[in-house]
Amino acid sequence: AQTVTQSQPEMSVQEAETVTLSCTYDTSESNYYLFWYKQPPSRQMILVIRQEAYKQQNATENRFSVNFQKAAKSFSLKISDSQLGDTAMYFCAFMKRVTGKLIFGQGTTLQVKP
Amino acid sequence: NAGVTQTPKFQVLKTGQSMTLQCAQDMNHEYMSWYRQDPGMGLRLIHYSVGAGITDQGEVPNGYNVSRSTTEDFPLRLLSAAPSQTSVYFCASSYSILAGGPAGELFFGEGSRLTVL
């Protein structure tokens, strides 16, 4: 069975600085996707970034980028130039390809301070 | 474009009562699923469906029933509510990956907070 672990329950960062959220996962699969979802206080789940396991290049979306280390089964999220609107809970998630089923980590609460 | 719509957004039940959480999507997605979110545990899959007439169990299916009679709707039923089912529930949908849709992205509803006393 796949597991996803986020070892940082809470983090904080000053506005405009950079922060990295950690995620590790365990799987015997070779074909899968990894995601970071953001959940602001509104409770809405918002996709931040997606990585396909067969792609060696790290995904980027504007201020958000990942460091995907397949051999180490590590998938960290870097947020550059942090903004107050980035304050949210962030979930790392794993999906075995073709299944559509997400396995979530426990979440990291990020607070961006002015 | 409504996306994924969940109702009700809040509900308080007494132990033993039954209720149905409704979920509807207007994106013609084949795949639909229900998750529950509990503090410190992330989101856990309850049931899912890969198309009308097809459902299957997720990680935590006990105490919940689902059916999928149409592509648009995927209701979640609690037949006899228990305090352990106090949680926030999310419905999500996506294109079928087999049909070549966007790889893996789930679209979530706004969540339903259920309290069982």
Do residues B109 and B6 touch, judged by C-beta distance below 8 A?
A: yes
Instruction: Give B33's contacts (C-beta < 8 A, 6+ positions apart).
Output: A100, A101, B45, B46, B47, B48, B49, B58, B74, B91, B92, B93, B106
Do residues B28 and B71 touch, judged by C-beta distance below 8 A?
yes
In the numeric block, which tokens belong to residue A67?
């460091």
Q: Which of B56, B108, B110 to mutate to test the interface with A (most CBs of A within 10 A)?
A: B108
Q: Is A31 exposed, middle or buried (0-12, 13-18, 19+ CB in 10 A)?
A: exposed
Q: Band the pLDDT of B46: cuts 50, 70, 90.
A: very high
Q: Mean of the pLDDT values across residues B26-49?
A: 92
A97/B88 CB distance under 8 A: no
Give the Å distances, CA to CA, from B55 to A1, A13, B99.
20, 43, 18
pLDDT tens digits for chain A (114 residues)? Answer: 789 999 999 999 999 999 999 999 999 988 899 999 999 999 999 999 999 898 889 999 999 999 999 999 999 999 999 999 999 999 999 988 777 788 999 999 999 999
Return mean pLDDT, chain A: 94
Buried/exposed B44-58: b ≥16 CB within 10 Å, e otherwise: bbbbbbbebeebeeb
Q: Residue range B64-77: average pLDDT?
A: 97
Contact A47 B92 (CB under 8 A): no
B35, B40, B88 member nearest A43 (Cβ): B88
Does A101 touch chain B if contact means CB atoms closer than 8 Å? Answer: yes
Structure tokens at B29: 């997605």
